[in-house]
């Protein structure tokens, strides 16, 4: 290890002696690689099987969302923002809606707030299931993706029923949500939650208590609490080092303050603990979802907003943040009093996890763990690129 560190400390621009033994080589992972969630590339410098330096190479998914938003009417943007993160789109809609509401001083009906919590938690479960499958895939356990992604589909069925879309919901909008529950929706939410809960022991058997995972993931990509704070880790990645930080508690929004849930933490800070924290979070999310459908107040779901074609949001700015499945997800929106946002900045949680932390954590790990480390951080490339 010390030898490796010594090598890292050496200036890389220093030309290698041509006649010296060739010790270092470069390897590309991605941009099209099953071990990467979306299009993203890693440029690894290796010595033998050990990574000595990692450089992330993004931009393959850059669609210019922030700029696009400046060109569209406030209401039109609700159809765009969900596309910023595919596996977990709802925090985008939530942030966008809340940012506009904060600037324009819009009240949201109580029922809509509960529905938003429901949507966010369902999205969290779906996103975690997706990550489990991905993580398992990186270490060759291919049954897990089959299971978890099929189970995620049941949540997508719920979304389809509620919003009309499976992946891109375009549901949350300034002033509330677009539609109320369909008939019998509460019952079906309970059914799906019961089902997912019943599946968790199966997941444990297959994956979380599988010796292969334990042996592969334990002690890999260890993040200390100092590093986590210094490098800006948030969400499950921060909770896996023992810090119980969660925006749902620390900077509560919608109706999370009315709901009972715990914030699971672990202390290992390695790939395994990051995974297990998410596993525990699913249980908490199920708890929240059940509370929402049991206690949701009746009432309207949207407060009337002006005609979207002639709607000016007063000048002002707002920073709103949501605890997404990846961590702190925030929008900084500035309005100059016009019909379109003057500027929207998207702070994707994956930008810190997927670029800075990943580059650091990969150093010293072996090549076969590179994908695993990335998945354990749950870095979502579209969120990095925006």
Q: Which residues bind other proteins (CB under 8 A)?
A: 72-73, 75-76, 78-80, 143, 146, 150-151, 153, 157, 160-165, 168, 170, 176, 178-180, 182, 202, 204-212, 214, 300-302, 304-311
β-pairing, 50-57 vs 176-177, is unpaired
**Cβ-based nearer residue to other proteins, 258 or 300:** 300
Class of residue 236 by CB neighbours under 10 A (exposed 0-12, middle 13-18, buried 19+): buried
Q: Which DSSP string do the residues of 317-346 spell out, in sequence order?
A: EEEEEEE-SSSEEEEEEEE-SSSS-SEEEE
Which residue in this structure is represented by tokens 């509330």? 176
Query: Measured between alpha carbons, how far is residue 349 from residues 33, 125, 299, 346, 355 in Å?
Result: 22, 17, 34, 9, 10
Closest CB 6 distance from other proteins, rounded Å: 36
C-alpha closest to that of 166 among 149, 143, 144, 183: 149
C-alpha closest to that of 28 among 51, 59, 3: 51
Alpha helices by DSSP H, listed for 12-82, are 65-71, 78-81
**Cβ-based nearer residue to other proteins, 104 or 206:** 206
Query: Measured between alpha carbons, how far is residue 119 from residues 122, 156, 177 in Å?
Result: 5, 11, 10
**Cβ-based nearer residue to other proteins, 225 or 305:** 305
Closest CB 119 distance from other proteins, rounded Å: 14
Closest CB 182 distance from other proteins, rounded Å: 6
Closest CB 140 distance from other proteins, rounded Å: 12
The answer to whether residues 50 and 152 touch, using CB atoms and an 8 Å cutoff, is no
**Cβ-based nearer residue to other proteins, 168 or 231:** 168
Closest CB 258 distance from other proteins, rounded Å: 24
Closest CB 73 distance from other proteins, rounded Å: 8
**Cβ-based nearer residue to other proteins, 76 or 227:** 76
């Amino acid at each position: 290890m010390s030898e490796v560190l010594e090598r890292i400390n050496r200036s890389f621009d220093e030309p290698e002696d041509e006649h010296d033994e060739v010790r270092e080589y470069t390897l590309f992972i991605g941009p099209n690689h099953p071990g990467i969630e979306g299009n993203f590339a890693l440029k690894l410098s290796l010595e033998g099987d050990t990574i000595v330096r990692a450089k992330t190479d993004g931009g393959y998914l850059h669609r210019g969302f922030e700029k696009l938003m400046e060109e569209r009417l406030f209401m039109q943007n609700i159809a765009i923002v969900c596309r910023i993160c595919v596996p977990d789109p709802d925090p985008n809609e939530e942030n966008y809606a809340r940012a506009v509401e904060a600037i324009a001083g819009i009240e949201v009906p109580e029922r809509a707030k509960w529905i938003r919590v429901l949507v966010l938690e369902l999205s969290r479960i779906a996103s975690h299931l997706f990550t489990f499958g991905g993580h398992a895939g990186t270490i060759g356990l291919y049954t897990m993706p089959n299971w978890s992604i099929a189970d995620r589909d049941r949540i997508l069925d719920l979304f389809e029923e509620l919003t009309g879309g499976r992946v891109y919901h375009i549901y949350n909008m300034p002033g509330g949500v677009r539609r109320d529950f369909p008939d019998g929706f509460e019952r079906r939410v309970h059914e799906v939650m019961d089902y997912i809960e019943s599946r968790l022991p199966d997941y444990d058997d297959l994956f979380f208590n599988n010796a292969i995972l334990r042996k592969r993931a334990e002690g890999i990509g260890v993040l200390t609490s100092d590093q986590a704070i210094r490098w800006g880790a948030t969400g499950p990645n921060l909770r896996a080092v023992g810090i119980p930080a969660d925006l749902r508690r620390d900077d509560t929004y919608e109706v999370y303050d009315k709901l009972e849930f715990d914030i699971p933490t672990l202390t290992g800070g390695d790939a395994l603990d990051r995974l297990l924290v998410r596993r525990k979070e699913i249980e908490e999310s199920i708890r929240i979802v059940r509370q929402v459908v049991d206690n949701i107040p009746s009432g309207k779901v949207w407060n009337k907003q002006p005609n979207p074609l002639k709607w000016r949001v007063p000048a002002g700015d707002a920073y709103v943040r949501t605890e997404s499945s990846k961590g702190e997800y925030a929008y900084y929106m500035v309005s100059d009093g016009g019909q379109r946002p003057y500027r929207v900045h998207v702070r994707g949680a994956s930008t810190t996890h997927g670029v800075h932390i990943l580059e650091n954590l990969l150093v010293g790990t072996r090549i076969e763990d590179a994908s695993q480390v990335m998945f354990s951080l749950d870095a979502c490339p579209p969120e990095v690129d925006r």
